[in-house]
Amino acid sequence: MENLKAKARQRKKCIEDLQRKSHFSIPEIEHLLKIHRKKATSHGKTDKPKMERQKFSDLLHEEFKMTDDVLIDRVFRAFDIDADGYLSEEEWVRGISIFLKGTMEEQIKYAFSVYDQNSDGFISREEMFQFLKNCLVNQQTEEDPDEGVKDLIEIVIKKGDYDHDSKISLKDYEKTVGEDYLLLEMLGPCLPSRKYANKFLHSMECNTKK
Ligand code: CA
């Protein structure tokens, strides 16, 4: 009995902690943890539930209609703070908080970490190439598609490289997005569209009112 009470106290503390670290209310966090539990696997009795990459990517696909595998993989990595290949409860709640309700500052840092593939603090030409080539892949054109991508990269660099080192630092990126918010997702969609974000938030609201 005492044991159970201690566990409940610990759980309550953990949820309150997540409330401080996210933009969600306690009932919303409980609902998000339920989703996490449904998607998660736990290995052994004492292990905390963890969400696997594939389950997360299915969820992005189902709930937010995101389909670009390169970007989905990067979104997973941006959520997976400790880089162990799984999303813990905390990583899930904090990630989805930025994803759905993040401040501009949070979303700029998040999108930058999505695009900065090797986490060296810069978005390089090679990294831009990886993302932008997907955008052009389906275009029917006589021209070499790589040439089209290179042109796009020049536009991005021209627009965003304030210190002229041919790559984009977080500072460059903050400045670029600060001037034009539409450039937040300049290398491809890494945040949900308003429509699907609202749908998800609305269903969460309905589920937590009961
Ligand atoms: Ca993790």
Measured in angstroms, how far is the CA atom of residue 86 from the centroid of ligand 1? 4
Q: How many angstroms is it from 51 CA to the middle of ligand 1? A: 9
Domain boundaries, the chain: 2-208
pLDDT for the residue numbered 21:
97
| pLDDT value of residue 140 | 57
Stretches in the chain below the pLDDT threshold 70: 43-46, 135-143, 210
Q: 8-27 burial, b for 16+ CB within 10 Å, e for fewer?
A: eeeeeeebeebeeebbbeee
Residue found under tokens 């949070």: 106
Tokens for 95, please give them.
Answer: 């990630």
Which residue, 168, 34, 192, is CA-closest to 100?
A: 192
Superfamily of structural domain 2-208 = EF-hand (1.10.238.10)
Residues whose beta carbons lie less than 5 angstroms from ion ligand 1: 80, 82, 84, 86, 91
- Kindly give the distance from the C-alpha atom of residue 74 to the centroid of ligand 1, in angstroms, as a whole number: 13
CA 176 to ligand 1 center in whole angstroms = 30
**Model pLDDT for residues 86-101, shown as the tens digit of each residue:** 999 999 999 999 999 9
CA of residue 50 to ligand 1 center, whole Å: 8
pLDDT of residue 154: 86
